[in-house]
């Protein structure tokens, strides 16, 4: 008599992490809820400016804007260009509070950062999410940059310093503005909090999308003026150069 139930089925299926791909609904046993074909087809950032990550036709170059006016940040790390389907995933995360999309994007960004750290990129002392104006925070209910930074902290074990900087006045939505207007709009938009510890620290700003880079430039300048040793920028996606961002 057998003491154990007889089972010859595919036991391994129980041990594998089968889940649905969030993009195509196919079953996948990948660690994240995205299947390999969908992940491969994401708009991975190709050759880009070595400082601000704007897409360029060749690698190892610095774009005209960074040459003309070097930003205070050291470099931008972004896995993707802001195009389909990344743009719609970010929009769904941000405007429809669809957490699984946000979490998936943060996990993939964390993987890409871990890869860069393994290749020698200096790991920051803390992650600093780009703050949202209080009015917009009330309307949206959450700061998408802070959520990304928290997920990165869990995955990369880098502390997150959410209260280092604050927005001191409400700035009109940046989207409709030209680069110059954005920079003017952002002047004096941020301030360090009274307890902020910045001197000598390597900080990484975290945001969802880098468009003209005006916000990152403004914050990096503020942090470097306060004595930060180095500021990097981590974001999900970089917009290609357009007429509005020149």
Give the interface with Zn ion as residue ranges (CB under 5 A): 21, 23-24, 35, 38, 49, 51-52, 63, 66
Show the tokens assigned to 111. Answer: 């993987």
Show the tokens assigned to 214. Answer: 């005006």
Neighbours of 199 (CB within 10 A): 9
Cβ closest to Zn ion, residue 150 vs residue 241 = 241
3-state secondary structure of 128: strand
Residues near 241 by beta carbon (within 8 Å), at least 6 away in sequence: 54, 55, 63
CB 180 within 8 A of CB 208: no
Show the tokens assigned to 54. Answer: 């704007």
**Rounded least distance, CB 56 to Zn ion, Å:** 8
**Rounded least distance, CB 34 to Zn ion, Å:** 6
Q: Residue 76's closest CA among 204, 202, 180?
A: 204
Residue 91 phi, psi dihedral angles, 5° rounding = -60, -40
What's the distance, CA 156 to chain centroid? 13
Strand partners, 28: 19
């Amino acid at each position: 008599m057998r003491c154990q139930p007889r089972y010859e089925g595919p036991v391994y299926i129980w041990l594998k992490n089968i889940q649905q791909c969030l993009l195509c609904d196919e079953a996948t046993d990948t660690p994240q809820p995205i299947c390999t074909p969908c992940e491969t087809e994401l708009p991975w950032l190709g050759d880009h400016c070595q400082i601000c990550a704007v897409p360029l036709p060749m690698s190892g170059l610095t774009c005209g804007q960074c040459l003309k006016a070097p930003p205070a940040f050291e470099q931008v790390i972004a896995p993707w260009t802001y195009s389909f389907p990344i743009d719609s995933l970010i929009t769904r995360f941000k405007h429809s509070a669809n957490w699984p999309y946000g979490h998936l994007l943060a996990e993939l960004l964390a993987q890409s950062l871990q890869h860069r750290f393994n290749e020698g990129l200096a790991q920051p002392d803390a992650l600093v999410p780009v703050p949202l104006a209080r009015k917009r925070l009330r309307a949206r209910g959450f700061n998408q940059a802070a959520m990304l930074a928290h997920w990165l902290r869990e995955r990369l074990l880098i502390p997150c310093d959410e209260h280092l900087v604050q927005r001191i006045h409400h700035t009109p939505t940046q989207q409709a503005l030209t680069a110059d207007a954005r920079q003017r709009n952002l002047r004096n938009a941020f301030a360090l909090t009274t307890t902020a510890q910045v001197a000598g620290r390597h900080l990484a700003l975290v945001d969802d999308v880098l468009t003209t880079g005006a916000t990152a430039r403004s914050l990096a300048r503020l942090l470097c003026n306060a004595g930060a040793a180095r500021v990097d920028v981590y974001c999900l996606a970089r917009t290609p150069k357009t007429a509005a961002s020149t």
